[in-house]
Chains A and B, each alone.
Chain A
Amino acid sequence: NAGVTQTPKFRVLKTGQSMTLLCAQDMNHEYMYWYRQDPGMGLRLIHYSVGEGTTAKGEVPDGYNVSRLKKQNFLLGLESAAPSQTSVYFCASSYSEQGFETQYFGPGTRLLVL
């Protein structure tokens, strides 16, 4: 049972480049989330999904897009990377609504934008 996996683990981008981060879960969870973690700021919610084909904005959605075409996958896209998007990105999933059930986190993706 792999739980929540994230691809890639580390990436370096130049300003203006685009990329997609992939999150996959094998627990049949309905809810999936993307967070970013920055020093001194805690985790902040970027986007989330309450089921296949649905997405919604979180606290800091600007500059990011997401898609949930399959229940087990949640993709985070950066269309034009900026240095301010240098961060560690975490994906998480849960059986039901955030806070009511335990969230399971992936190992994170470290992104450096030069």
Chain B
Amino acid sequence: KQEVTQIPAALSVPEGENLVLNCSFTDSAIYNLQWFRQDPGKGLTSLLLIQSSQREQTSGRLNASLDKSSGRSTLYIAASQPGDSATYLCAGGGNTDKLIFGTGTRLQVFP
């Protein structure tokens, strides 16, 4: 059964820092990997989707990579801003299986 782990559980950084959030999964047969953002009391917003044929995706200051052989994905946030403060969740899925979510990394960026 696929299990998804996110480390660290919480992270606090000063504005302007580049940071990396980690996501690891137990089953290397993962087909795709998604990163979501969740603001307090709100639903999830999809940030990036990496499909099986891809190794990374970029959107603005965000870059996500997927290494299926090592069972890891990373979300890189460049030049962090206070507005980036949120919980970031990764979710992996097999070819026909449903998405399995990690428990998230709670990020705080202070001015």
Contact = CB atoms under 8 A, between A and B. Distances in A.
A and B: bona fide binding partners: yes
Interface of A: 4, 40-45, 48, 58-59, 90, 92, 97-108
Given A100-B32, A102-B49, A48 B98 contact: yes
Interface string B43-66: 111100101000000000000000
Contact of B42 (A43, A97, A100, A107): A107
Interface residues of B, number: 26
Nearest to A101: B49
Find the residue from B94, B98, B102 having the highest chain A CB count within 10 A.
B98
Given A41-B103, A42-B101, A43-B89, A99 B32 contact: yes
A1 to B, nearest CB: 15
Contacts of B100: 42
B44 to A, nearest CB: 4
Contacts of B42: 107-108
B101 A99 contact: no
B12 to A, nearest CB: 19
A43 B44 CA distance: 10
Given A42-B4, A108-B41, 11 more contacts: A42-B102, A43-B44, A44-B101, A45-B99, A97-B96, A98-B98, A99-B31, A99-B34, A100-B51, A102-B46, A105-B43
